[in-house]
């Protein structure tokens, strides 16, 4: 039920719909002769897409999330016993199945980092975690896409392990703890997008992981400032990602998952 609810909330919070909400509220208030408030909301519905298209605004919301964990390199890690890569970096579903080819998404840095760390730490366990984030999963799972990609790259698939049941971050953390069974003193690395790391780290801590090394990748903002640009595609994308994480953190906190 929680998974379905998060998908519904996510759909309703699409930034492109915000102006529609404001415009609808303005229309209803106008019917009730609340003309001053209606005019304000109508103007806001027009201005909001302009603000969302200014990239420093979206970056200002997303940057604190991406700066949550310090950026590190593989050379700074030291000894590593296990590596966990969270799902969300493949185009899971009907497209890869019907094309017969694994597909990476805009978060492909997770997959690339997994291969780099696997080569650097040949004795460490390497886990890919995730089934699919779709409300109604169809086609290949993320694990199937990853196996196909590894095969295309000539990698020995036996080198990697897969947790293939989780649908969200809370399930990633609990199911990985059950399957990997980390021992006290072991050093495990958690790889996910920088914007997602705060919620992921909190979820894994709640599930019992106590010695995780956070390895954020897939940055979308600069460390401190953002060049002024009017770019609707990028601006709306930054807002969408930030809202997804802030609302996700609030939902996880309210339901005791962090």
- Do the strands 188-193 and 161-163 form a parallel or antiparallel pair, or are they unpaired? unpaired
Query: Of all residues in the chain, what percent carry a pLDDT higher than 70?
Result: 100
**pLDDT tens, residue by residue, 177-202:** 999 999 999 999 999 999 999 999 99
225 belongs to a structural domain? no
Mean pLDDT of the chain: 94
- Which pTM does this prediction carry? 0.93
Predicted local confidence at residue 97, as pLDDT = 92
**pLDDT tier for residue 242 given thresholds of 50, 70 and 90:** very high
222 belongs to a structural domain? no
When divided into structural domains, the chain yields a total of 2
Angle at which helix 232-254 crosses helix 169-180, to 10 degrees, equals: 60
Are residue 25 and residue 112 in the same domain, yes or no? no
Is residue 77 within 8 A of residue 130, CB to CB? The reply is no
169 belongs to a structural domain? yes
Are residue 127 and residue 28 in the same domain, yes or no? no
59 belongs to a structural domain? yes
Q: Measure the CA dihedral 45/61/167/198, to 10°.
A: -160
Whether pLDDT at 131 is above 80: yes
Are residue 142 and residue 79 in the same domain, yes or no? yes
Size of the chain, expressed as the number of residues it contains: 258
Write the DSSP symbol of residue 109.
H
Whether pLDDT at 116 is above 90: yes
- List the 82-86 sheet strands across, edge first: 161-163, 125-129, 82-86, 188-193, 212-217
Are residue 165 and residue 189 in the same domain, yes or no? yes
**pLDDT tens, residue by residue, 32-67:** 989 999 999 999 999 999 999 999 999 999 999 999
Are residue 39 and residue 100 in the same domain, yes or no? no
Is residue 197 within 8 A of residue 216, CB to CB? The reply is yes
CA diameter of the chain? 71
Predicted local confidence at residue 215, as pLDDT = 97
**pLDDT tier for residue 3 given thresholds of 50, 70 and 90:** confident
Angle at which helix 55-66 crosses helix 197-207, to 10 degrees, equals: 30
Write the DSSP symbol of residue 108.
T
Whether pLDDT at 132 is above 90: no
Are residue 100 and residue 124 in the same domain, yes or no? yes
Q: 193 by DSSP, 3-state: which?
A: strand
Are residue 151 and residue 167 in the same domain, yes or no? yes
Are residue 78 and residue 204 in the same domain, yes or no? yes
Instruction: Report the CATH number that the domain containing residue 94 is assigned in CATH.
Output: 3.40.50.620
**pLDDT tier for residue 235 given thresholds of 50, 70 and 90:** very high
Q: 32 by DSSP, 3-state: which?
A: coil
Domain that holds residue 159: 74-217
Predicted local confidence at residue 7, as pLDDT = 82
Are residue 92 and residue 212 in the same domain, yes or no? yes
Predicted local confidence at residue 74, as pLDDT = 80
223 belongs to a structural domain? no
Whether pLDDT at 1 is above 80: no
């Amino acid at each position: 039920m929680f998974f379905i609810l998060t998908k519904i909330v996510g759909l309703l919070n699409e930034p492109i719909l915000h102006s529609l909400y404001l415009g609808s509220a303005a229309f209803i208030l106008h019917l009730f002769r609340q003309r001053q408030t209606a005019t304000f909301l109508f103007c806001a519905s027009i201005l909001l897409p302009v603000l969302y298209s200014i990239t420093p605004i979206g970056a200002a919301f997303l940057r604190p999330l991406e700066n949550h964990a310090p950026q590190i390199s593989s050379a700074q890690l030291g000894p590593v016993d296990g590596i966990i890569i969270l799902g969300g970096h493949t185009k899971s579903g009907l497209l890869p199945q019907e094309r017969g080819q694994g597909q990476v998404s805009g978060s492909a840095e997770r997959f690339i980092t997994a291969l780099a760390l696997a080569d650097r730490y040949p004795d460490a366990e390497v886990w890919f975690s995730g089934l699919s984030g779709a409300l109604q999963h169809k086609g290949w799972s993320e694990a199937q896409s990853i196996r196909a990609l590894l095969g295309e790259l000539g990698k020995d698939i036996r080198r990697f392990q897969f947790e293939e049941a989780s649908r969200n971050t809370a399930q990633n953390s609990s199911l990985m703890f059950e399957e990997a069974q980390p021992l006290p003193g072991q050093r495990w690395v958690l790889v996910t997008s920088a914007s997602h790391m705060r919620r992921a780290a909190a979820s894994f801590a709640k599930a019992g992981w106590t010695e995780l090394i956070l390895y954020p990748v897939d940055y979308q903002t600069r460390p401190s400032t953002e060049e002024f640009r009017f770019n609707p595609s990028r601006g709306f994308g930054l807002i969408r990602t930030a809202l997804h994480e802030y609302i996700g953190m609030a939902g996880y906190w309210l339901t005791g998952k962090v």
